[in-house]
Amino acid sequence: MAALHADRTGALAAGPVLVTDGAPAPRTGVAGRSGLTHVADSGDAHGTHFGRVPYQDPGRPERMRQFVVIGHEVSTDPADISLSDLPGAGRLDLLCRCVATGVFLSHGIREAVRVHLVVADEFTITSDSDTLRHLHPDERNVAARVRDALDATADAIGHMPADVSPGVELRRMGLEATLDRLLDGGGSGAAADPTLVHLHEDGDPLVDAAPPTDPVFVLSDHRDFTDREKSLLAERAERRVRVGPELLHADHTVSVVHNWLDTDGYESY
């Protein structure tokens, strides 16, 4: 994956979180060694040194990776979300790690990844790696976006999204409507040929089939899939797969899936 490695330069260390709203978007995600100046200098355009990192080789068809993560216990009331107690907010810490793992690399942000958090089967918050701005990978920063999104529920009318902030949208859609929207193409710029993949610890081994072109992976949070969710997925998913023999946290599962896709099914390093 030549293109993947091309931008993996520069050294950053995890440091204090610097929220730079109003400043050029911090493409590095975490604060660099030289602090705010370094972050602000990182720019937000494609092709900058710390810019978005395509995962496909030049010449291969454009592909999109999507992850749907089902949050069973997160309240839809933003007042219930304390940034000081994310685990107490329905394991929002875990869900935010799924978002961060989905869109961020160590020194950049991936191209063509969308993470959809389904909240209480009522709302879906989508983070689009191609248009995200001012987002850092730490959980509190991502959680602040989730809280902002839930603050905008009144603006989500019908299935029209509320624009929360660049790259973040909220739709008044539970799991079923979200899956159907994604399988239907999911709006402009979305996957042309989506394949729904149910990630489950009892599924078939991931490596038994080649990576799909436009995969949509569905995961649960710390809770098991409900019977209704299982039946929605059984009706729609082309595959039900496990990434390995152990039960993993959802965010770790996202990481394994990325690695599988980054390596073309463990074929290319």
Ligand X SMILES: C[S@@+](CC[C@H](N)C(=O)[O-])C[C@H]1O[C@@H](n2cnc3c(N)ncnc32)[C@H](O)[C@@H]1O
**Binding positions for ligand X, rule: CB under 6 A:** 199-201, 219-220, 222-224, 242-244, 246-250, 253
Cβ–Cβ under 8 Å, residues 70 and 60: no
Which residue, 20 or 255, has its beta carbon nearer to ligand X? Answer: 255
For the purposes of burial, counting CB atoms within 10 Å of the CB of 87, is it exposed (0-12), middle (13-18) or buried (19 or more)? exposed
Question: Which tokens in the block code for residue 99?
Answer: 């978002």
Q: Which residue is nearest to ligand X (CB)?
A: 220
Which residue, 140 or 230, has its beta carbon nearer to ligand X? Answer: 230
Which residue, 126 or 220, has its beta carbon nearer to ligand X? Answer: 220
Q: Shortest gap between Cβ of 27 and ligand X (angstroms)?
A: 29
Q: Shortest gap between Cβ of 127 and ligand X (angstroms)?
A: 18
Q: Shortest gap between Cβ of 210 and ligand X (angstroms)?
A: 17
Give the three-class secondary structure for 184.
coil
Backbone φ, ψ for residue 52 (5° rounding): -70, 145
Q: Shortest gap between Cβ of 39 and ligand X (angstroms)?
A: 32
What is the H or E stretch that residue 179 is in? helix 175-183
Q: Shortest gap between Cβ of 229 and ligand X (angstroms)?
A: 10
Which residue, 191 or 206, has its beta carbon nearer to ligand X? Answer: 206
Which residue, 102 or 161, has its beta carbon nearer to ligand X? Answer: 102
Torsional sign, CA 44, 46, 47, 53: positive
Q: Strands 65-71 and 194-205, how do they pair?
A: unpaired
Give the three-class secondary structure for 4.
helix
